Structure 1
Amino acid sequence: MAKAAAASPALNPVIVIAGPELYLRNEHLAAIKATLFGKDDPGMGLVRIDAKALGGAAITAILDECRMPSMFAPQKLVIVEPADMLFKKGGGGGGDDDAGDDTGDSGRNRELLENYIESPTETATLVLVCTNWLKTTRVHKQLDKLGAVKWCDPIKDAQAPAWITKRARDAHNKQIEPVAAQRLAELIGPDLQRLDNELAKLSLYEPDAPVINVKAVDDLVGFQHEQQIWDMINALAARDAKTALKKIDELWALDPKIEYTVSGAIFVWLGQVLKARELVDRRMNDGMITKELKLWPPERAAKVLTLARAWGLAGAARWSQEMLAMDVANKSGLGEPRRNLERFIMTLCET
């Protein structure tokens, strides 16, 4: 077996970027480009190919492109995105995934790729970007042995704070308080692109501060769309389902990924009502409760106290538990988050 020659001292000649997380895909592609071209414009050295557009001869055309030296660049980067259809059941069968586009015999495609991996072109790096990638094929075993499969799976909710901490340090040269990382994760969820965008803004919020604290997260991130969220919560407090659902429509129109921010705000509100009821039962007066819970502005404080008295301790605890159950359902993939929230609103308002 011929030894695979490297297109670059730091890169394998064939790389697979596999998984649905677009942010991680882009990060890997950016790192590969930087390794090959540095800060220079890749120009004619960068070739992008859509395998679907090439039809049944796709793999042959892709490998021919890799073997053809670039007239204008010493190194060539060939990116095939998406590349899934090369390995799906097609014209010749033998595929590993769902039935897909007719891009030729997937078994033959793998065989041609296996042969190329054993004797690659020294001046080209081939990158295959796939949403799905099987670990049971010979191609995978060849590439995995070389460390050439880059996985791009979404992170889970529980992994978000650790990712935030590492990203703040590595990409933005900032430390972040554990409670601030947790708060940011609760507000945004495990959406890596949005988390990185917020970290970039937070790193500039107090540029001379070495640490991002929870106050900065609340000031800059926690109160985005604050007025619309509080309008929705005020409608909930009044058991006005029509207005609350209308506000949900407005919030989702502003930001389709706002579910974590909205759910977090409702959790905070319900927690305030529950805690206020506990303090009422301890015979604290309204002024002391407002100060203790930092309820502001006064009209919101009044509404929290009114609900605390109307619901009682059992009622306040019930809605906190209902909200927690909805959050667990969302994180378990049971129903669509927006629909779950709308059902919660209807249940609360109709009770």
Structure 2
Amino acid sequence: MWMLSIRTLLAVWSHGTSMDSHACIMAFMPRGKASPTTTDPSMRILVVHGKDDFLRLERVKRFIEQLEEEHGQVEIFTFDGGEASRAEILDELRSFGLLQQHKVVIIENAESFMAVEENRRAMEQYAEAALDQATLVLRAMTWRPGKFDKKLDGVGAVIKCDVPSNSEAMRWTIARASKRHEAQLDQDAAGLLVERIGPDLAKLDNEIAKLSSMSASRNESGQFIITRDQVVEMVGLSRQEQAWELQSILLRADPAASLSKLHELREISRVPDVLLIWSITDVLRKLHDAARMRAAGVSDQVVAKTLKLWGPARDAVLQVSRRHPPGRLGSLLSQAVQVDEASKTGRTANPVRSIETLTVTVADSLR
């Protein structure tokens, strides 16, 4: 069994490897073997645990990409460990997938599932003869090592995802900007970003996405350039929070209140138009993704984790996404993207009117 820890991965990945597990700092410690720096698609069982939702989601996402490289398209089945029975999970693991595709069976809240003695024993027995046609992934916030871990020798791995230090987060931010957001983020800008946001990779990733979408400058390689000045301008915490206030009003589907909040943010708080458009686009993207996932039968809990929804935003986004089909939300998202593009390229005669129209249209359509 491989035992993994996040600092090793961050150090390796920040020096230019192709690994993209996003800070599930892995310290593989195999018995008598050199330490590898990545999971292996031949692994039939993977345990990913830790307090950071983002890290757990990203690590599993990367592992599934490896499985797809090995097996082609895979079928993914997700179970809530607090509700699913061991019979359901074992039946899914043992049955053959559609067109003989490789299957990935994910147990969310695996700590709840494994806390039941009968479930734990069943998983221990399965680990002794894990099937080749399926991969079992257990994702948990907390994890107690036991007999199950020992039975993963040769067939699986346990990965612990911890929150990185500020210096590790800064290196990750620079690499993440380049690899995932096609953006150039220098050390000074990255340092300020981490200083203002903290080593929360989910929030840092969100900020990088926002900053890259707002940048109009590119380097010789075609990457968006994110400067320290942009971080100062766009990531002031109070200004960021004020821009997000618009999302909460939009989700209430109140056109008049939404327009009033837009004017307040623009004229009193002086929030930049580009940040306001991003705020509208961001909430529409979350709604669209949530509606698509729900239409595919994904549970609210998994939707919230995947889209990184917490607090009041979680309930509001899920509630609104239930009322509208993905196609309608996708159309609204396309309109927002068009307004954003026109604003950045100067192709709109009246930018203020465009934002106002978009705000009222979105609020009215979400009723």
TM-score (norm 1): 0.50
TM-score (norm 2): 0.48
Tell me which structure has the larger Cα radius of gyration: 1
